[in-house]
């Protein structure tokens, strides 16, 4: 199965009440929407929760393209994580990687599927990114 997933995270205050959301589209453009919130969190944690929760919903091994407006998430999962693992979860400054628990969950979730990551510009003309943003922000209220 081929799927597209648009994800976003939001935070009211940073840290503060956070929300995450994902729009999952199949080949027929059928869509499902998922979202959630946490009381005391950060924007980066919410950006990570969105793809984690979306991938959790997909039971069948699939080819998935995940669209995110977070370079932190895209670069982290496609580039930085390899070095973090080799360096015992230390970043380039020899400090512990922030949000390690979520990075591990995201990495494990990606192993079950063939996942490609694409960055999209936030608050632009992308219909589904804007919808994910609206849902994530609504969860911060």
Active-site residues, by number, are 8-9, 47, 69, 123, 133
What single string gives the DSSP state of each residue in 14-33? TTEEEEEEEEEE-TT--EEE
Q: Which of 1, 56, 45, 3 is nearest to 20 (CA)?
A: 45
Contact 25, 47 (CB under 8 A): no
């Amino acid at each position: 199965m081929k799927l597209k997933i648009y994800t976003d995270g939001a935070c009211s205050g940073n840290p503060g009440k956070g929300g995450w959301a994902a729009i999952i589209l199949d080949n027929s453009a059928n869509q499902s929407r998922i979202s959630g919130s946490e009381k005391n969190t950060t924007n980066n944690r919410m950006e990570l929760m969105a793809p984690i929760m979306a991938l959790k919903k997909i039971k069948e091994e699939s080819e998935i393209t995940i669209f995110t407006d977070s370079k932190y998430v895209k670069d982290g999962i496609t580039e930085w994580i390899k070095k973090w693992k080799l360096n015992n979860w230390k970043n380039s400054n020899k400090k512990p990687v922030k949000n390690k628990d979520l990075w591990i969950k995201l990495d494990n979730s990606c192993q079950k599927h063939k996942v490609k990551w694409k960055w999209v510009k936030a608050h632009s003309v992308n219909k589904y990114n804007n919808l994910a943003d609206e849902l994530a922000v609504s969860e911060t209220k």
